[in-house]
Amino acid sequence: MSARVSLIIPTFNREEVLAASIQDAVNSKYPDLEIIVVDQTPTHKPQTEEFLQSVASKIIWLREKCEGVARPRNIGLRQAFGSYIIFVDDDVRFDENFVGNHVKVLDSGADVVQGRIIEAKAGPTDRPQWMGFWIRISGSNDCPVAGPTNTITGCNFSLKRAVYDRIGGFDERFSNPAVFEDGDWGMRAYATGFNMRYSPEPALHHLRAGTGGVDSSVTEQRLSENYYFCCFMYAYKRHHWLAVLRYTTRLYIRGAKAAIRMIRRARARAKVGIAPGF
């Protein structure tokens, strides 16, 4: 008998790509699947609203007023009835065997599964993603071989309900822009001793849509105070003080570079917009 699976899709200000992501979920061949869409969008385009109404009998569509992805993920977790739970973003595409491939790895003994994430501007690496002591990631989640991991990326991962029952959901202090709320949860699961595996089989394409998404209200993430709040909170919660000290220097440099880019863009716009002599 197949395990019941809950597929959770948090969404904010997505339109066509959201409809495509939900349609892929609806097309799944997995026999016992509930699809939970936690929708933070105040008003959709008419065609998106029409699509959502057309699949309303096939999904659980929750309209929520919240921010970021940590809280909507927790809302989805509280709603879910599955013994296995899968999270995907609202701008992904996957095939009809995607859910079954996650189930296969969970059935084999994994407690948390990081699936493969394929993106147009990034190529594959030779080893799965791993968060190191110095708060630096090696490898990636676009890797053709399976292996251990100690962190997760939120747009494609799964877990057994027993993990959620033991360590709880996502820390909702990680809010917009969404940074490290997934890595924080993953390292919490790893520190608790759960078997975390990367597998290339449950693969999806992450479109990184240019509009909408949980960060759509932030023009430049690295010029947002909350971006650095999330980075520091993750560092203080999960890493050694020596690593945090070194990471602090990196964040100062990162912020300075972001400010310089902003100033250069503003200067270039001014040069174009004002004729010589004025």
Q: pLDDT tens across 114-155, in order? A: 999 999 888 899 999 999 999 999 999 999 999 999 999 999
What is the pLDDT at residue 277? 54
Instruction: Return the axis-axis angle of helices 225-238 and 181-192, rounded to nearest 10°.
Output: 10
Rg of the Cα atoms in the chain:
20
Amino acid (1-letter code) at residue 250 = R
Confidence (pTM): 0.92
pLDDT range class, residue 192, cuts 50, 70, 90: very high
pLDDT range class, residue 275, cuts 50, 70, 90: low
pLDDT at 38 over 60: yes
| Average pLDDT over every residue of 185-212 | 93
**Which of 164-168, 175-179, 180-184 is the least confident region?**
175-179
What is the pLDDT at residue 173? 92
| Average pLDDT over every residue of 175-187 | 90
Nearest to 174 by CA among 163, 189, 185: 185
pLDDT range class, residue 102, cuts 50, 70, 90: very high
What is the pLDDT at residue 86? 98
| Average pLDDT over every residue of 38-56 | 95
**Which of 40-54, 80-94, 166-180 is the least confident region?**
166-180
Q: Classify 63 as helix, strand or coil.
A: strand
What is the pLDDT at residue 212? 65
Distance CA 211, CA 256 (A): 25
What is the pLDDT at residue 203? 98
Q: What are residue 76's phi and psi, to 5 degrees? A: -65, -40
Side-chain half-sphere CA neighbours of 148 within 13 A: 8
What is the pLDDT at residue 67? 75
pLDDT at 218 over 60: no
